[in-house]
Structure 1
């Protein structure tokens, strides 16, 4: 017979009576009360707890078993203590007791038939043999077959209620205050929702396919009521539903009926690597200790995660049979902690002498014997950067190389670890911030990157990282990526500017580096390894790590470390930073002095001329430091440093340090790190973290055998580029054989394995327009309307990514039969990007300001004179916002593209191929065949051109359209374009690198058809100069010799050789990461930075939110119209939730997303950029479209001929 406690909690007795009791202390489940029969004595009791802020309900925190003189504790997260000591599974005690992993449970079994199991979360179960019938007592009843007397108290009286019964079976504990739950009534709305057949009603639904087969053996009514109750008093949390469904499913399994009740949308169970979920697995899994136990198991089945073929349980982890080791990884052999043994490979045990550290003592804590610290030390790096050592010294150091922060001295008594930080320039020389953090531990390098990227030994991984590394876990907590080790080290990095390193006291006096030596002596923190105390700049430069530093990085060369303030801005900035002295922060002042933080706040704000985001950064560091001291400060509001949260999440000043994830949906409720919360964004109810984003359970991803986590829908290439895999929506990984082709090499790039192209080709579109195809054919197609420039062929191999690039040609104002490239439209990765005149960018119909990253494989950004789109598969596109574009494509697409840029097969003569694969000779026939939408009349085929047969037949490339041959020849002898080829001209230095012939022809043509003005000449010359500079050729002085000046906007000056990647508000680090030669352009004056295409003071920089940049004061709506947001003066975004009205739709109007009234113009019926306006037709609303010059018709659908 079995008795269970589940949910919050509900007790189902041996005789099938249910008690609901929410006490939060320890209570007897079952014990032998009549010992006259000589049966072995046992006592099973549970300890309950409240979780989170909800004190209405409680859950099973642990199960305690007294048997054969042993005290055994089954704890949360499947930990086990035996007589006060932590033990790894399986555990064998005197051949009488075995404790082992069993599916999703830890199972204790005795030789007399007692079974106790606990899922480490909420479900506990006791099973006893029939010998104990009528001899038991406790909340599980007396097991006499009569449920009516299952409410007997220890004194033999009948309990008046379940609460009375529960309190009577209290197991006394010292200093414990007990509560008994709530007597409140359920909210009617919640109750109605909980009873639906999509929630708790699944249990009783007679027409349902899930549980109906069990109804005859296990009546579902009590389980249904318990499920509804739990959902009521937890606010409808999905975890409560899962608890209720699990309880009924387990009872069905015990009755011999296995239920397939979990699926990707209902309580999915994520299994670690090497294991798979099974609703009907063996209770006796094979282990490294006993490889054949499953073969002889005759017990009832159990659900859970079970080892795959070829894997065995080692502790509670599935490992390959060849990796089976000892029972413990490391342990002490005596109670004095003087000898420590470690289990190495091949069952090889190595023991060494050991000594506890200065601030440690040998003791048992949480069941674990070891050298336990009585404190810890914390080092912080914040802002520009400023360093707070373990011993409390604060200093500022601004080198841009890589530096050792923490390094263990030669010491065998602690785990060796090294932590290094790489700094970078952010827009200004002398303003440096953390770019990457390197953690070397357990023979693995963990890299924490800017924007919260994570690498393990150069390979990209995604949170949560659990069971992948021995002794290390990596996850998201609030704003931070957190790395934790089993020896007590915690590293937190926000991916921006704030790093926090916490070491246990076992490392006291055993480390050195920029975080100091952790010896409680601040005076020697700035000492070199030889012990000499030096100044800050000497100290910092001494810890440079050459092998991890970038070539050309700068040492700190300041003459002093005073704040770079001016007489004008210092008083204003100091008054702003003094907010830390205000009453809001006063509760923390005695524990954390605000003065050092005011000092670094002043430094950073002066560095950036009062930029408000630097103020917010340092206030956040102070608040987090206070949080470490146990003080929570609520300081953000909608006008002062608001912290926006992405969809399905919300801000909290105390986010759980164990957020629920797709790997563990119960992690938050099982968290044992009380008092360690941090501010940040937390997922809404019924959402969990998947790679840093909050998703519903139905959108959770997959884990592979190495415990790598992948988001649903994500694709990746395995090591050696041998397979291409995808995580399906149902949590299953599918893989196909894969190989790089002859034009590629298998590399790791940005942390991912990929086939990297070995070469590229370019297609140019220039001037009026002139095309140079990928294969080098020059043509001059003058069609107006929209044409395919380049797109992938229909039968593209699935190893390549599809894309299309369209160009809109528009007539010149003075010559209507000559056109220019007005805009470009790119379709890739499910997004549509439009590059328009004056460098405007539309993303999926919404105007955006670069840089933008709409997809992991797409980057849109700006450089000196152009806007760029870059993909991860080798497509690069740039447009100057006027009439010139360049498409650069990897040679992996050789013979796999089509359009006006040709077929990229290495043969220029067959580039005039139409959509049907037919080769033509006339440029107009060719060009018009690629008008959008493209018309195909037959299945696509490829025509191979014989260059011998066709060599005498010239292609008509359209050179003389609009400018006849004689006029063009006259231009060639008299035009100012000749300066391009002049032997004594300003461009001679580039002739050997790039031939000027194409640029000369384009210049002559454009001057001919546009009237020969100076602006036309200068545009042509600029394109040649840009091409030369991109190849690293210096082009100094050409404007002075050609009278081609460049007008620059306010707060900028012309530079003939500025960085090709100028700093912007959205990307201050762009220049330091630039690998392109310098180019000419308009360079912001000192103290100014690009915001969009305008140079503004740093203090006027806008906001970056969800990888999009917004200017100060700009208001915008998120893509799903769930939030409206505002970019505040502090350069932070303030958002509020919205719901579109009943008559509104979430749509786009005037290139802006929002909730708009549904009507004739929403969504707009006008095509081809027609502008819609509402009109009144009789009594109804109608619309009219104002069309561009090229289109006509009611919907602007017809071309003007």
Structure 2
């Protein structure tokens, strides 16, 4: 098939002059002659997209500048189409590379799929209505989404189900986020996939450059070449639209047996030429003001063709409005919205609720009361629909001013003027921001398991990797660096463990302390470096070691290597970098890299802070749900429900449980009872910091500690002054404590006997 668009070389101005100079009656007199010759059977197949059978027995495609033996495709030659694949009105499709085609299939089809990987990162099915009569915009349609290691996400209208269970929005599932914006359902991922579903019939899919040449399905292969989009399932090329589309037919479990569409499917405008003439001139409005402003970016001809195809099936105001809407949407998606076009379409007038206005360009990443979302490069530029007027922000479905934004604290919302006391700080909610009194308030960064991090400013993220990373880099006076080493676990090489943490003072390797998994403590090679007076090391309990400095730094290290807590006083504000973030109260810049750039994903952030560049630095690591892989551990994950239950209820006001339930479930499925108990212990530790003691170990049988050497379990205790040696050489103790095993009251640990004895 020769796809050289010879007729597209004319400028739009010249085309308009041709239309102006040509008498409509004369033009359609010729068209009717073509139609009559076709009716006599001189063309082997019925012509499509408004084309007519010429006296030569071939389809004349000039009317919409279409191509192919049946004029079955209309290329989009605009320079702003930007790799967006779309389908609308049940039967209209445009590939990533800009080929429009009409296909009246009534089955389920692979709309787009990642064919560049053995395990597809994404697959999109579109389920067409088995019977679609009249206007294509009233036909039932739905979509199915499949992502790596995820169960089917099915979207019907505005209802979303995962594995048959309804989801509330917004929702984050691994690397996938699902939310509602105006009348759209938006599905975005961290790997360059952004899909918008209008709840009726339209799908708009944009994928990033990294997916070029790897896509397949009804959307084509996205390689920038229009002439090879119709690759059928067996990697052969065809000009036959039906053969191409039928090769991507899928039989969904709840579908009735579907019959493939025949290759000679009829033209929706095959009957009633006088009606066609009127329809054609109605759709020609897309060549006029105000649509002219977008012609350079989005070619109007394929939308005129789709408009004609629609009105031939149902010539009513609503269908006419929807047909014009698709061109306006294409312009908005490319970033060139058309202003005030609805004035000429009564059926398209504003139907928004009183507090909303209709907007043709709503940002796909609108500002919120909390903070602006990360706008991924694969986002559509903007969407249309009912939204807040300028100057107002959407919050829980209502439009409010920035001054009335609530504040968030541990997952709970607080209205303007609310006050909270947090340790040494009193904060007042002012326009979505906590206005806090400045005291010497410590902050904390935590590492839980091998992959879960919370920065000083409270940003939660996870990443996968094995390397030595800069956890915290303190700058200026008393500068220090804390590094973290992650490697294969000795007991299970299939898992990653935190092996050690190292504190380096003044960038001097002779002044370093390393605490390893198991509790081993190593100091720098220069024995002249004295810990006394600079770093104090204490074994708080059978579970924790504490490193405490004179310059406002504390490190609480779990001896099993499963948890690390870094605490800093406010003197370090705006003086930290690394995986723990920037400690400035702004979570937006916590992914600041050594080069001064803010990285877009947790994985890139972690890669930027590798100590050695020789470590493997994965860019796109699929966040696999361990519960889908380790079915044997689902029983352990069920015990995470305790976080939402009565035992932890006193803590919910201070620390919202949702995030910690997800962390618990993830880790319990990954590595069973040990990881379950570590996740519960982390949540209990945070509760304890707010003055709420949770004895979960007595409640969850897997998590009970067996204390030896005559010791007992304590929620908060310290070995300080609890040994026989300390009686003869008194220790300087602080109020630091941690959970674990320790000698009971009145007894002291005797090092030679390895047992607790009376004084």
Relative to the length of structure 1, the TM-score reads 0.26
Higher helix share: 2
Task: Using structure 2 for the length normalisation, give the TM-score.
Answer: 0.39
Structure with more relative contact order (C-alpha pairs < 8 Å, separation 6 or more): 2
Q: Which has the higher strand share?
A: 1
